[in-house]
Amino acid sequence: MFFNVSGLVQEGIGATRRYDLEGELRREDGQLEHVAGEVEFLRTRAGVLVRAHLNLVEPEICSRCLRPLEEKVPIEFEEEFQATVDVHTGHAVSEKPNEDAFLIDAQHTLDLTEAIRQYREASATMQPLCRPDCRGLCPDCGRDLNTGDCNCGQDAIDARWAALSGLRTSGPEGKE
């Protein structure tokens, strides 16, 4: 997601550009994620402020039943990308950019890829689900409980809880 901002940085502070963004990002595992939305660039004293309103479609796996799914992740951020060279002279800027800042390279190209990746990681669901009422897998036989019940462990009692099985009652006061 590269943008040439040489024209913008030659303008005065406060100049803006808006772009509709649509494309694919490659994850570390090689899978592609679809990204769409709008970005706005605002010229600042030190570089360009980026305001992004994006939606990302991320391939995931349900944390309960292990089915593949596509998770829609909204991403919104504001980050200042700092210039590394003066657009008029081509020399390095006198004020060094912050070491943690996103940078505009020597060819005046702004790359949104790393910013989108970082905000995606912060916005992603910790345990994605294929649906809110997903029943998951049986811990004994591994059957997908969304397709039906299994009979493998209904009568089995964990030996650690066997002593408590005699305390089962049918009434609210402990009477059988």
pLDDT digit string (tens) for the chain, length 176 residues? 899 998 998 898 999 999 999 999 888 888 889 999 999 999 998 899 999 999 999 889 999 999 999 999 999 999 999 988 877 777 777 777 777 889 999 889 999 999 999 999 898 889 999 999 999 999 888 899 999 888 876 666 777 877 787 776 555 555 55
- Closest among 86, 82, 5 to 39, alpha carbons compared: 5
For the chain, where are the E strands, in sequence order?
2-4, 16-26, 32-43, 47-61, 68-83, 102-104, 109-111
pTM over 0.85: no
Q: 148 — phi, psi (to 5°)? A: 150, 165
